Structure 1
Amino acid sequence: MQANNLHIAGVGASAGGLEAMLPMFAGMRPTGRIAYVVAQHMAKNGHDELVVRLIGRESALPVVLARDGDQLVADTVYVIPSGRDGHVTGVTMRLDAPDAGHLSTPSVNALFTSIAMTRRDKAIGIVLSGTGSDGVAGCRAIKSQGGLTLAQEPLDAKFDGMPRAAIDASTVDHVLPAKEIGAMLAGLFPGKPAPGWCPPNTGPAMLARALAERSPDYADPALVDPGYQELQRLLPQIHKATGIDFSSYKEDTLLRRLEKRKSTLGITSAEAYQDLIRLRPEELKALQHIFLVSVSSFFRDRESFQVLRTALASLVSGKPRGDPVRVWVPGCASGEEPVTLAILLRELSAHHPVEIVASDLNPEALALAREGVYRQTAFKEMDSALRDRYFKPKGQHYLVNEDIKAGIRYEQHDVLGGDPPANLDLVSCRNLLIYMKSHLQDKLIKQFHTALRSQGLLFIGQSESLSFVGNSLFVPIDHYHRLFRRRH
């Protein structure tokens, strides 16, 4: 491609960086549009060639040790050697003696800043595992020039200092696990591999699967992968038997659960499992339950709910007396989340009616939610005084008070189908996005944006992140606890 159209992605890492780069580069795909330059903190004479070999062994793209004067080309990974700082001028790699002010080399800030100045809106910065704060100034420089910045999810990093510092400085556009970075970039910069191209250490089935995840219009991976063939056969059967359509779920997630189920049953082949289904059709319903996993607890991730409480207190205080607080909880499972929110809002104010719509695909989970009876284990993160205020003992269990139940309406609803509730103050959608394909995650986030009032709140799970699309629609209130506010 023409040099003036080349995007250059700087990759900055320190302690734990190699562990992050292996899955990240394994998930990269050729786009014809991005070259990658790695600044991994290393001691001088830090086994450069070994680092290149280790990354190259897993990488879907060729990996080379950078040389002074290299002309950077798309779909290639360049590793800056130890004891040098790397700078990019145009599309040329320059290696220099480290600046005396740089505590670690190669310097991430030096690399990122040079990319920002020379590539401007075609600059990309990726901050991975490491201690310290190298990369913050570089990300700020990239952002100032209209480029794109990404950071590894701190919980996914072996050492979260570097990614967390960049996130806390509000210099990062998108936060996600290392293994998902390649998928995001492939989605933002779509390109097709050369005919016959296949990533190192993979076969055509793996390639088809990876490409299908990034482009739903690509060839059906079921044509080449036996696991996907079996899943594609099962999904219509489950839909017909239970009325639940799992086609929007991530195939890899469903495959892991399918294989675990077959292992439990002692079944090793797809045909043997089909024989079992013919003999016992109720197995399809059992598999549906395994795919849905309706497990929760009250005030799950208690510190996150403390952050949410502060934001809701501000929201409620700005409402006229008597104005309802409207909430949607998609994927509500057996009701712990909507009940938690109803209690939280009741504690904040008795002068605002609570209207919560709680939806789920699983009819059995919804039946439990409507009954409102919970085991003691569901209260492990809830204060006993709060439990005794809003629940009554019922044998060995607890029954939620009627005045709390009255504010919640449970519905069987496919979150991607039909019209969502409107004029909402809060959408609490925790631990649902992780099961959905990336393009459907974006579709759902757009739906939440439409459903929320101006300045409405979005609360997602700690293992989830917003994409580039999501970050354009929502601004973080507390990124660590995954609480966002509608931008417009």
Structure 2
Amino acid sequence: MELNYEFFYQWTTKNLKLNLDGYKETQLQRRIATSMKNAGAETLEEYADVIKANPEAKQKFLDYITINVTDFFRNKDIFEEFEEQLISELLPKFPSLKIWSAACSTGAEAYSIAMILAKHQVKLQNKILATDIDETILQKARVGVYNEYELKNLEYNLRDKYFQEKDGKYEVNKSIKHTVEFKRHDLISDDYPKNYHVIVCRNVMIYFKNEVKNDIYRKISDSLVPGGLYFAGATETIYNPTQYNLTKVTSFIYQKDA
């Protein structure tokens, strides 16, 4: 039986504020069909009813489709390169910074950046802006409580310094939590904030169609100040960064041209 994906795309846009048109079609439809079957639905019309009636089913769908996977200091060696560029390139030029962590998922990446800033006593113009399309995941990020597995890449000295342990869970302490502001944002549909010195957007571009990726790269570049840095994911090389007014400075870090 052929599934009515066109109906489902329109339904998610209207009811979940989730624009699926920009995702790679084959990969997306495979994930939707799997999620539908796991929910016990036989058609996408039936699956839409399940999602509408069951908050748990809705969240499982959003988690599966929008790939809510992240870690503290994910790809540690690349994060060290990011820290080096931040300190050596940006701080001599800009006395205070504006930083945006896009597609931030559960907040681990934004809090990782906040720990780096605290280590080097970096001044911020505003709180770190951390955005994601999934409001439920953003609420988890705001709470800032993680289990031990979610902290698997975090050095023990950072866990001891920046987290409070309670009943086997770890909560980000207030000094770090208060430097981050979480908001909903759709990279495909929404307007982009401006005048940022750093934009971190990792491990999400691989799910988008090429024309959507091109548009997002242009908008990211437009959101950076000249000399600002874009920190990409470990599988997200930009093959012709000059078309976006960007220059590659390390494997996954790009600088906006003056």
Aligned residues of 1:445 and 1:470 also touching (Cα < 8 A): no
- Give the deviation of 1:407 after TM superposition: 1.4
**Counterpart mapping for 1:338-349 below 5 A:** 338-348=110-120
> Structure 2 counterpart of 1:363, which letter?
E
Query: Counterpart of 1:314?
Result: 88
Pick one of 403, 406, 411 that aligns with 2:183: 411
- Give the deviation of 1:370 after TM superposition: 0.7
Matches of 1:407 and 1:266, distance apart in 2: 42
Query: Counterpart of 2:79?
Result: 305
Pick one of 65, 72, 75 that aligns with 1:291: 65
Matches of 2:238 and 2:150, distance apart in 1: 28
Query: Counterpart of 2:15?
Result: 241
Distance 1:262 1:335, change over 3 A: same
- Give the deviation of 1:335 after TM superposition: 0.5
Pick one of 278, 281, 300 that aligns with 2:52: 281
> Structure 2 counterpart of 1:483, which letter?
I
- Higher Rg of the two aligned structures: 1
Query: Counterpart of 1:371?
Result: 143
Matches of 1:316 and 1:347, distance apart in 2: 15
- Give the deviation of 1:465 after TM superposition: 2.2
- Give the deviation of 1:266 after TM superposition: 5.8
Q: Identical aligned pairs, as a percentage?
A: 24
Query: Counterpart of 1:484?
Result: 254
**Counterpart mapping for 1:349-364 below 5 A:** 350=121, 352-353=123-124, 355-364=127-136
Query: Counterpart of 1:255?
Result: 29
Q: Which runs of 5+ in 2 are unaligned?
A: none
Distance 1:385 1:360, change over 3 A: same
Per-residue Cα deviation, 1:360-385 (whole angstroms, up to 9, x for no partner): 11010000011111111121111110
Matches of 1:485 and 1:309, distance apart in 2: 14
What is the SS of the residue equivalent to 1:325?
coil
> Structure 2 counterpart of 1:318, which letter?
P
Matches of 2:242 and 2:10, distance apart in 1: 31
Matches of 2:84 and 2:190, distance apart in 1: 32
> Structure 2 counterpart of 1:395, which letter?
D
Distance 1:231 1:486, change over 3 A: same
Aligned residues of 1:477 and 1:484 also touching (Cα < 8 A): yes
Aligned residue pair count = 254
> Structure 1 counterpart of 2:102, which letter?
P
Matches of 1:439 and 1:303, distance apart in 2: 30
Matches of 1:413 and 1:442, distance apart in 2: 18
- Give the deviation of 1:276 after TM superposition: 5.1
What is the SS of the residue equivalent to 1:299?
coil
- Give the deviation of 1:319 after TM superposition: 4.2
Query: Counterpart of 1:232?
Result: 6
- Give the deviation of 1:241 after TM superposition: 2.7
- Give the deviation of 1:412 after TM superposition: 0.7
- Give the deviation of 1:422 after TM superposition: 1.9
Distance 1:451 1:280, change over 3 A: closer
> Structure 1 counterpart of 2:159, which letter?
R
Per-residue Cα deviation, 1:189-210 (whole angstroms, up to 9, x for no partner): xxxxxxxxxxxxxxxxxxxxxx
Query: Counterpart of 1:402?
Result: 174
Greater RCO (Cα-Cα under 8 Å, separation 6 or more): 2
Matches of 1:238 and 1:417, distance apart in 2: 14
Q: TM-score, normalised by structure 1?
A: 0.49
Aligned residues of 2:192 and 2:219 also touching (Cα < 8 A): yes
Matches of 1:277 and 1:433, distance apart in 2: 26
Query: Counterpart of 1:468?
Result: 240
Q: TM-score, normalised by structure 2?
A: 0.89
Matches of 2:127 and 2:39, distance apart in 1: 44
Query: Counterpart of 1:4?
Result: none
Matches of 1:463 and 1:232, distance apart in 2: 30
Q: Which runs of 5+ in 1 are unaligned?
A: 1-224
What is the SS of the residue equivalent to 1:281?
helix
Matches of 2:164 and 2:205, distance apart in 1: 33
Matches of 2:46 and 2:104, distance apart in 1: 34
Query: Counterpart of 1:335?
Result: 107
**Counterpart mapping for 1:201-216 below 5 A:** none
What is the SS of the residue equivalent to 1:334?
coil
Distance 1:266 1:338, change over 3 A: same
Matches of 1:456 and 1:413, distance apart in 2: 21
Distance 1:245 1:470, change over 3 A: farther
**Counterpart mapping for 1:66-145 below 5 A:** none
Cα RMSD of the aligned pairs, angstroms, is: 2.3
- Give the deviation of 1:245 after TM superposition: 2.2
> Structure 2 counterpart of 1:341, which letter?
I
What is the SS of the residue equivalent to 1:392?
strand
Matches of 1:364 and 1:287, distance apart in 2: 12
Aligned residues of 2:241 and 2:247 also touching (Cα < 8 A): no
- Give the deviation of 1:397 after TM superposition: 0.9
- Give the deviation of 1:279 after TM superposition: 6.2
- Give the deviation of 1:416 after TM superposition: 3.1
- Give the deviation of 1:307 after TM superposition: 0.7
> Structure 1 counterpart of 2:45, which letter?
Q
